[in-house]
Amino acid sequence: MVEPIRVAARRGGTVESVHRVHAVAVRDGEVVGAAGDPAFVTFLRSSAKPIQALPLARERADVDDCDLAIASASHVASDEQLAAVRALLAKAEATEDDLECGPYEGSRLKHNCSGKHAGMLALCRTKGWPTEGYRLPEHPCQQVMLAEIAGAAELDTAGMSTAIDGCGVVTVAMPLRTMAHAFTRIESIDGGRAVADAMRAHPELMLGPVPLDTGLMQAQPGWIAKGGAEALFCAAGPDGLAIALKVEDGSARALRPALGAFLEELGLEPGPFGPVELRNSRDDVVGSIERM
């Protein structure tokens, strides 16, 4: 096994912390590049959102690019993002009170998964499913989400390991190489082109607390990308290549340097990704976070 990418946090000239990052690149179902363990198993978390938006794209003829982008996003509750969530809720004939993602700063609307939840409510309304409890594993909505992820990853739902995500819905664990493979297939699945086009058209709606996905889509034309909790990152390019990265200790600060390093290993332009300045509360540069 190739060694993981090692990202060091240096304060002054001294290494203070080291993060291990597993990364894999897949094309046509085959691993074409790796650092660390391509079979490293972790939860898909919010990187599943573009896949979870596929049924919405298929079932609702009235959804537009903004609807699909915000359903795929982990947003920071900007005015533009909240307006997109409200618009999707209106199509779902639902309100903030119907969201089951829990509150953030006293508002369910501001929760970074509210767009995904609004999309699930819109799907429930179209299918005639009850909206109450749509987040629960036994609800038809979550059963469809599980089947959608399994289909994209070409897995059997019976063998998938599941748990509850931070926002209350079902999340799935799988190897990194399988996640990357699923991302290579998104645009080939019914509804996938619409979801991917929406993400590329509105990367600003995708902007989250760790905005690598928005940054990659802006820097690499034709790519789609989505990060997930615990320092996960998945992306796919227009030529059938997809990548997945996971910081072993869950520290998201290691992702930007690791992503730049892995893109370079694959012969791709790293763009804005690479070393990061380490700053203190005075905004003074006191060190760096970069590949060792």
Q: Kindly state whether residue 256 falls inside one of the protein's structural domains.
A: yes
Residue 7 located in a structural domain: no
Q: Is residue 289 part of a domain?
A: no
pLDDT tens for 50-75 read 999 999 999 999 999 999 999 999 99
Amino acid at 145: M
Rounded mean pLDDT, 63-92 = 98
What average pLDDT score do residues 170-197 get? 98
Helix/strand/coil percent split, the chain, to 5: 40, 25, 35
Range of the domain at 122: 20-274
Q: How confident is the model at residue 89 (pLDDT cuts 50, 70, 90)?
A: very high
Domain-located, residue 74: yes
* Inside any domain, residue 267: yes
Look at residue 182 in the predicted model and tell me its pLDDT. 98
CATH number assigned to the domain comprising residue 29: 3.40.710
What does the pLDDT read at residue 209? 82
Is the residue at 202 inside a domain? yes
pLDDT surpasses 80 at 1: no
Tokens 């928005």: give the residue.
Answer: 214
Helices (H), 128-249: 140-153, 176-185, 192-201, 203-206, 212-219
Task: Report residue 98's pLDDT band, with 50, 70 and 90 as the boundaries.
Answer: very high
**pLDDT computed for residue 52 by the predictor:** 98
Give yes or no for residue 208 having a pLDDT over 90: no
Q: How many domains does the chain have?
A: 1
- The residue with greater pLDDT, 159 or 136, is 136
Phi, psi (deg, nearest 5) at residue 255: -70, -45
pLDDT at residue 122, rounded to an integer: 98
pLDDT at position 110 is 98
Q: What is the DSSP letter of 107?
A: B
Residues 3-28 pLDDT 10s? 999 999 999 999 999 999 999 999 99
Q: Is 14 contained in some domain? A: no
Contacts of 283 (CB under 8 A, 6+ apart): none
Is residue 3 situated within a structural domain? no
The pLDDT value given to residue 88? 98
